Amino acid sequence: MRLHQILTGSCNATARAFSRGVVEGATFIAYASGCDLVILDGGFKRVQILPGVTHGQVQISGLDCSQETGKIAASYGDHIVIFEPVPVAHEDAYFPFKWKRFGEICADSPVTDLAWSPNGDYLITAGESIQIWVSAAAFTIIVDDYPDEPEPTGPVKWRCAWGQKLSKPVDHVRFSPDGLFFASYGRNDPFLKIWYRDNPPGFAELDSAAVGEDRPPSFNFAYLSHPAPVTGFSWRQTSQQIPRGCVANLLITSCEDNVCRIWSETVLPDDGLIDASASATAAAAATSGTVGEDGDLGTAGSSFGE
C-alpha cells in the first residue's frame, strides 16, 4: 500500500491564519494548519501543501498573500519564509501555478503579523518592533517536479530598509490601498497608529528602486485615540485606476466599547500630496461622466479625523 493523500487539520485559531491572494487573475486562498501551509484555489479545491517539517515544525503565527504578485509570506516565530508562484507546464493541471520557497527573513523578534505592500514589492513585519523588508536581488526559480527548468541564478536576499522598536508588541498591521500609510495597534491598546513617511517631505510611497543603503527611509506616526482597547480595523478599498491623492483614505475601527468608528484622511492643500495634473485629469473625466440624481460627485477631505 502506498500513500495516496494527506488530509491536513483545521485552520489555526488565530485572526492571522488565512489570507486571499491573486496571481495573474487567478484567485487563491492560503491558510495555516499547525505548521503546514495549505493553498486552495478560488473554489476551495486544494492546490498544494507546503509542509512545516522543513521549518522546524514551528506553528505558523501569521501569513499574508499579495493581491498583485501572488507571493505568500508566512511567519514561523521570528523566521519568515517567502513563497512565490511558479507556472505549471502540464496542460492537465487544474490550477496554473505552484508555490516555491523564494527567500527567507530573520526578524528581530517573533512576528505576530505581517503584510505585503499593495504592489507586492516590500513586506512589513510586526512584533516587538516594526520592520520593512525590501528584496535586494532578482532571481529565477524552479519546481522540483520539473528538473528541466533552468537552475536559479542566485540566492534570494532581503534586507531591512527600516525598523523601529515599540513599547508594546503589535497585534495587527496593514497598508492603506495606495501604499502611502500603514496602520498598527497593540494588544489592549486604545491607540491606533497611522504611520507615514516623513522623508523626503510628503507621503512618498516606498519602493525597492527608490531605497538605497545611503538614503534609508524615515517614518513617523499619528495617534487615533479610542476610549477602549482597539480590537480591529480595515481600510476602505479603492480602485488602482484612481490617481493618488484624488480620493481620501478611510478606515473603520472597532474597540471594546462595541462602537465602530470611521476615520477619514484630510488632505491639506500645502501637504504636497496631490498631483495637480493627475487631479485635473480625473476631474475632467468625472465632469464628463455620469453623476447621481442630485448632481453630487462627492468630495474627499494629512491628518485623520473621526
pLDDT at 83 over 80: yes
> Which pLDDT does position 193 carry in this prediction?
96
Most confident of 34-38, 92-96, 152-156, 293-297: 34-38
DSSP string, 160-188: EEEEEE-SS-EEEEEE-TTSSEEEEEETT
pLDDT band at 248 (very low <50, low <70, confident <90, very high): confident
DSSP string, 101-136: EEEEEE-SS--SEEEE-TTSSEEEEESSEEEEEEE-
Better-predicted residue by pLDDT, 203 or 15:
15
> Which pLDDT does position 149 carry in this prediction?
45
Residues 6+ apart with CB under 8 A from 174: 115, 182, 183, 233, 234, 235
Q: Give me the residue spans of the domains in the chain.
A: 12-158, 167-200+218-285+300-306
What is the pLDDT of the chain when averaged over all its residues? 79
**Intra-chain end-to-end CA distance of the chain, in Å:** 64
Which superfamily does 12-158 belong to? YVTN repeat-like/Quinoprotein amine dehydrogenase (2.130.10.10)
pLDDT band at 111 (very low <50, low <70, confident <90, very high): very high
Better-predicted residue by pLDDT, 226 or 203:
226
DSSP string, 200-231: SSS-PPP-TTT-BTTB--EEEEEEEE-SS-EE
User: Residue range 194-216: average pLDDT?
Assistant: 60
pLDDT band at 164 (very low <50, low <70, confident <90, very high): very high
Find the angle CA(245)-CA(250)-CA(252) to the nearest 5 degrees. 170
User: Residue range 153-168: average pLDDT?
Assistant: 80
Single pTM value for the model: 0.77
Spatial separation of the C-alpha atoms in residues 32 and 39, rounded to whole Å? 9
Neighbours of 293 (CB within 10 A): 5
Strand, coil or helix: 21: strand
> Which pLDDT does position 239 carry in this prediction?
78
Strand, coil or helix: 154: coil
